A and B are shown apart, each in its own frame.
Chain A
Amino acid sequence: MTDLDERPRTAARTAATPARPARRRRPWRPGLTALLIAAPAILVYAYFSWGPILSSLVMSVQRVVLTGQSDFVGWDNFAYVLSDPGLPQATANTVLYTVLAIVFGFPVPLALAVFISEMRSRAWYFSALAYLPVMVPPVVAILLWKFFYAPDADGLFNTVLGWVGIGPLPWLNSPASAMPSIVLETTWAGAGTAVIIYIAALTSIPGELYEAAELDGAGIWRRVWHVALPQMRGIIGTMLLLQIIGTMQVFTEPFLFTGGGPQGATKTLLMTIYDYAFTRVDYGAATALSVLLALVLGLFSLAYFRLTRSWSRS
């Protein structure tokens, strides 16, 4: 998933660069030449990046007619999407996905990273292995897993479970198990990036701390609990927030695995937005819901900035 893959990488960069003490400089005055040089870049950026954001804000208060005059309708679109009978379920599904993705997807890479960094030899081999799924293009991975999840007794997973007398399980074909099945795949697909980041964080912990702990007779669990985890507090918090923001925007997996089914059990907020825009051709409603989602995610981002700032101070 692009969101999950991209964000932690940025996080790794920021976390690896220690906050530099601000140096006093003379105030910066942009010269005319500097502005002129930057102008094309700013214009292109404004047109392609800020432009769409602004126009979606405008569209969210309009009845959008792409081929003619769009009328101003005030809060109508917002009222419409908030009263959509599908909204509570889509919200619940998105929150369920986020919670499951964090419950499963958060500790797994952390445990893997600790495990790999404790390996005396061949650690590179295991980290490469852990990173491998990230390199499989998401669409290919999803189509493969769709085969694995075949609900008949001769599906791949069901065959394996059959050997130990379990199943066959319906996987994607039951409203109860569809979302956990999707989370299982995304955890597999996304864990690699997080593992690499955690390993990097673990290697940056000063070796003396471990040595001191070892001298005091601490075993592996106590070393992890009392040395590694506290040292990684900052990065763990950052990853958690980024994962919340990323998972709330899940789209590709439910779109390709189940199309939102069965019975709407995997229809997420982003799929609802997609539906508004591209099957109902109702860009007003689509942008209104996008704005609402962006507001909620903005709150998380705000929390993220506040926390990282307080961490870098401490």
Chain B
Amino acid sequence: MTKRVRSVVAVIALGGLSAAALAGCSSPSAGTSDGKVSIQIGDRPSADRPEDRAYFDKRVEAFEQANPDITLEPVETGYDASTFQALAAGGSLPTVMSVPLTEPAGLIKRGQAADLTDALKNEGLLDSLNPTVLKLAENSEGRAYAIPTNAYSFGLVYNRELFTKAGLDPDSPPTTWDQVRAAAKKIHDATGAAGFSVLTTANTGGWQFSGMTYSFGGTVENEDGSKATFDDKPSTQALQLLSDMRWKDGTMPENTLYDIPTQGQDFAAGKIGMIIGASDSYYNIVQNLKLPAESFGIGGMPQLKGAEGTLGGGTVQIVDPKASAEQQAAAVKWVKFFYLQRFLDENTAVEDAKASNEAGSVTGLPGLPVVNSDQYSAYFDWIKQYINVPSANFTPYLGASASIPVVAEPVNNAQEVYGALDTVVQSVLTDQNADIPSLLSTAQTDVQSRLSR
């Protein structure tokens, strides 16, 4: 080959390579052809969770058998705050995927979620869903833009063994903050463990503190999210309580930088008596971190006096608004099949619970129901023999959930608000002389300037 020919060949080869590389970037699009609908579904478990992945794939297969007109294309894309908007911008979001309940308000405003009201009606889901949870996924006109598939509300997670050692009754956990303070003292005196602890980093501090504010009867934002409203008495009282427990009673841990994993480790190791959490904390604390199941206790969120409120959230499924009507309908069908069918149909419930129990997964964990209460209790009746969690330990939580109102997370820029409140909580826990009113007013001014941007 002459020099010139060689270089031309090289150019063509290189050009071909880069063209191939660029072509590899374009995403496949789900579409319709000859009456068949094809959709992308998110949240397929990654390969490091082989059992969950196998179960997911089996359900996909079963769905396609039951709906021969629908082809599913499972992808691993799940919700991640740092990549979600970029994925949305690049048009790479699957047709249907999970997002946290904090998101629908913003997604509806930006036109990033499809109106599912009619599809839900067609599937007979609209009346089966828990109305208080569904409300969080609706716009102001009552149109539903997301389907709740998992919900939680804050409660008080406690170590029953430490309770017994401290002479407290593990079957009746504290229901007011005064009782929490007293119980924390007893636990600390009797066992040396910290009585109570809160999260403080990665925005979880603000998240839990919002829950505390609600339980003191306060709010964090006004209803339409245009104003920050936490610079008031309830938040002050909540911070004062933390300050007193940390500095006067010495019943909170030395570590003031907790995220969920690190706090979970110390709780499961018996170093902390009580934390704020929901019933799904069970997965982290018992299943992963091996606190004995019988030591796991959960009560309702402690309150100021009666039933002021508790923070609730969860997971919803959203559907791509750019998908065709047939695709949207297929997506709702999948959501019903995979997430909700077990609450609506006895055979599915039993089959599902049996498989889960035999695989050794947590089965029959009580929580805030996403379906209405009749359906929910029927479900637990159906799967009774497969439940493998100590159901009785959840009784105080379920009892309280019935009476304490569930308050939604801040609707506007929740994560920013939480970030600012992280700092406030950290200040109170690291500085004995922290000036609570000025901390709150500074944080409120800060948050307000961001809300109005």
A-side interface residues toward B, CB under 8 Å? 33, 36-37, 39-41, 43-44, 66-67, 80, 85-86, 146, 150-152, 168, 170, 172-175, 258-264, 275, 277-282
Given contacts A33-B4, A41-B14, A280-B413, 15 further A-B contacts (CB under 8 A): A36-B11, A37-B10, A40-B15, A67-B88, A67-B89, A85-B445, A152-B253, A170-B254, A173-B256, A174-B430, A258-B257, A262-B257, A279-B203, A279-B419, A280-B450
Residue of B nearest to A284 (CB): B453
Tell me whether B201 and A259 are in contact (CB under 8 A). Answer: yes
Tell me whether B446 and A173 are in contact (CB under 8 A). Answer: no
Question: A63 to chain B: closest CB distance in Å?
Answer: 10
Residues of B within 8 A of A146 (CB): 262
Residues of A within 8 A of B7 (CB): 33, 36-37
* In the complex, number of A-B residue pairs with CB atoms less than 8 Å apart: 102
Residues of B within 8 A of A67 (CB): 85, 88-89, 110-112
Cβ 8 A contact of A66, one of B86, B254, B423: B86
Residues of B within 8 A of A260 (CB): 201
In the complex, A264 Cα to B205 Cα: how many Å? Answer: 13
Residues of A within 8 A of B52 (CB): none
- With A80-B453, A279-B419, A282-B453 already in contact, the answer to whether A173 and B4 are too (CB < 8 A) is no
Tell me whether A258 and B201 are in contact (CB under 8 A). Answer: yes
Residues 73-108 (chain B) with a chain A CB within 8 angstroms? 81-82, 85-86, 88-89
Is the C-beta of B426 less than 8 angstroms from some C-beta in chain A? yes
Residues of B within 8 A of A37 (CB): 7, 10-11, 14
Tell me whether B423 and A264 are in contact (CB under 8 A). Answer: yes
B-side interface residues toward A, CB under 8 Å? 4, 7-8, 10-11, 14-15, 17-18, 21, 81-82, 85-86, 88-89, 110-112, 200-203, 253-257, 259, 262, 413, 415-416, 419, 422-423, 426-427, 429-431, 442, 445-446, 449-450, 453
Tell me whether A33 and B8 are in contact (CB under 8 A). Answer: yes
Tell me whether B257 and A279 are in contact (CB under 8 A). Answer: no
Residue of B nearest to A255 (CB): B202
A-B contact pairs, 9 of them (CB 8 A): A37-B10, A43-B18, A44-B18, A67-B88, A258-B201, A262-B426, A277-B82, A279-B415, A280-B416
In the complex, A33 Cα to B6 Cα: how many Å? Answer: 10
- With A66-B89, A172-B257 already in contact, the answer to whether A40 and B11 are too (CB < 8 A) is yes
Tell me whether B255 and A40 are in contact (CB under 8 A). Answer: no
In the complex, A86 Cα to B445 Cα: how many Å? Answer: 12
Residue of A nearest to B106 (CB): A281
In the complex, A66 Cα to B200 Cα: how many Å? Answer: 31
Question: What is the predominant secondary structure among interface residues of chain A facing chain B?
Answer: loop
Tell me whether A259 and B259 are in contact (CB under 8 A). Answer: yes
In the complex, A236 Cα to B82 Cα: how many Å? Answer: 39
In the complex, A36 Cα to B7 Cα: how many Å? Answer: 9
Question: What is the predominant secondary structure among interface residues of chain B facing chain A?
Answer: helix
Question: A82 to chain B: closest CB distance in Å?
Answer: 13
Tell me whether A262 and B430 are in contact (CB under 8 A). Answer: yes
Cβ 8 A contact of B423, one of A33, A261, A282: A261
Residues of B within 8 A of A33 (CB): 4, 7-8, 11
Residue of B nearest to A280 (CB): B416
Question: A229 to chain B: closest CB distance in Å?
Answer: 41
In the complex, A43 Cα to B21 Cα: how many Å? Answer: 12
In the complex, A85 Cα to B8 Cα: how many Å? Answer: 58
Cβ 8 A contact of A173, one of B15, B88, B430: B430
Residues of B within 8 A of A151 (CB): 254-256
In the complex, A67 Cα to B93 Cα: how many Å? Answer: 12
Specify which of A37, A80, A277 lies most central, judged by the most chain B CB atoms within 10 Å of its CB: A37
Cβ 8 A contact of B18, one of A40, A150, A280: A40
- With A67-B89, A85-B446, A259-B202 already in contact, the answer to whether A173 and B254 are too (CB < 8 A) is yes
Residues of B within 8 A of A174 (CB): 430
Question: B415 to chain A: closest CB distance in Å?
Answer: 5
Question: A298 to chain B: closest CB distance in Å?
Answer: 27
Tell me whether B110 and A279 are in contact (CB under 8 A). Answer: no
Residue of B nearest to A152 (CB): B254
Residues of B within 8 A of A172 (CB): 257
Residues of A within 8 A of B253 (CB): 152
Tell me whether B85 and A66 are in contact (CB under 8 A). Answer: yes
In the complex, A281 Cα to B4 Cα: how many Å? Answer: 51
Question: A14 to chain B: closest CB distance in Å?
Answer: 29
Tell me whether A278 and B453 are in contact (CB under 8 A). Answer: no
Residues of A within 8 A of B88 (CB): 66-67
Question: B241 to chain A: closest CB distance in Å?
Answer: 19
Question: B221 to chain A: closest CB distance in Å?
Answer: 15
In the complex, A264 Cα to B200 Cα: how many Å? Answer: 12
Residues of B within 8 A of A36 (CB): 7-8, 11
In the complex, A167 Cα to B4 Cα: how many Å? Answer: 75
- With A66-B86, A278-B81, A281-B85 already in contact, the answer to whether A261 and B18 are too (CB < 8 A) is no
Residue of B nearest to A176 (CB): B430
Question: B91 to chain A: closest CB distance in Å?
Answer: 9
Cβ 8 A contact of B255, one of A150, A278, A281: A150
Residue of A nearest to B420 (CB): A86
Tell me whether B81 and A279 are in contact (CB under 8 A). Answer: yes
Cβ 8 A contact of B427, one of A173, A262, A279: A262
Specify which of A168, A174, A259, A260 lies most central, judged by the most chain B CB atoms within 10 Å of its CB: A259
Residues of A within 8 A of B21 (CB): 44
Tell me whether A261 and B426 are in contact (CB under 8 A). Answer: yes
Residues of B within 8 A of A150 (CB): 255
Residues of A within 8 A of B445 (CB): 85
Residues of A within 8 A of B111 (CB): 67
In the complex, A168 Cα to B10 Cα: how many Å? Answer: 66
Residue of B nearest to A259 (CB): B201
In the complex, A170 Cα to B111 Cα: how many Å? Answer: 47
Question: A187 to chain B: closest CB distance in Å?
Answer: 21
Tell me whether B257 and A173 are in contact (CB under 8 A). Answer: yes
Tell me whether A39 and B413 are in contact (CB under 8 A). Answer: no
In the complex, A172 Cα to B450 Cα: how many Å? Answer: 28
Question: B315 to chain A: closest CB distance in Å?
Answer: 19
Nearest first, the 4 A-B pairs at minimum CB distance are A66-B89, A278-B82, A259-B201, A151-B254
Question: B93 to chain A: closest CB distance in Å?
Answer: 10
Residues of A within 8 A of B85 (CB): 66-67, 281
Residues of A within 8 A of B201 (CB): 258-261
